[in-house]
Amino acid sequence: MDFKQAATLGSFISKDYTEDLFRLLATYSSISASEAASRLNLHIKTVQDFMEAMFELGILEREEVYEKKRPYYRYTLKLKKISMELDLSTLYPKENSDERTSIMIREKKNAGVRFTTSRDNQYISNIAIWTGQGRDRTERKINLSIPQGRFLFHLPFPSAEFQSIGKIMQKADVDSSNISEVLDIVDALIELGVIENDDHSK
């Protein structure tokens, strides 16, 4: 089950009427959306959406039948148990993180960002980024993990030479096991215009 399917299932499972609909499906050999809606005093569209969603998830079977030349679906409960299992392995970085440590970066000039250091002044604890103009100007605050904070503490200033991600990690004493979270904040800050990279280093 992927996240989209899990979200669909979770959305319907949380509804007050879901248990009653499943009880009807377990009781009847097959049932139409209109029959179920009238039985539970629900809107037909509500039940149709539920039935179709459960069919798409493989929880129900459906059969198209004809009555007075008007086709409609009858639904049958296919499963006696529903389990939600998400494969989180698909969320891990797909590219080789080690190859990206050679990318050259530095802080971007006039980025409109405020760095707040930790109490011991050893790393950046959070950053505040200002976006928009005038009354529409808003602040976005990002709290950092300690490895991210150490890395950004050693980020080259806008007037300094570009340095590789790997070199900055080495200066900041950030372990290579933290590379994925370092790359995550670098990518986010490039997108937000806080960090710039040297195109020739790609």
Reported as a single tens digit per residue, the pLDDT across 129-173 is 987 777 777 888 999 999 999 999 999 999 999 999 999 999 999
Are the C-beta atoms of residues 170 and 178 closer than 8 Å to each other?
Answer: no
Are the C-beta atoms of residues 4 and 57 closer than 8 Å to each other?
Answer: no
Question: What pTM value is reported for the model?
Answer: 0.66
Are the C-beta atoms of residues 8 and 51 closer than 8 Å to each other?
Answer: no
Q: Give me the phi and psi of 3, to 5 degrees please.
A: -65, -35
pLDDT digits (tens, 9 = 90+) for 85-122: 888 887 877 666 677 889 999 999 988 899 999 999 99
CA distance 111 to 119: 24
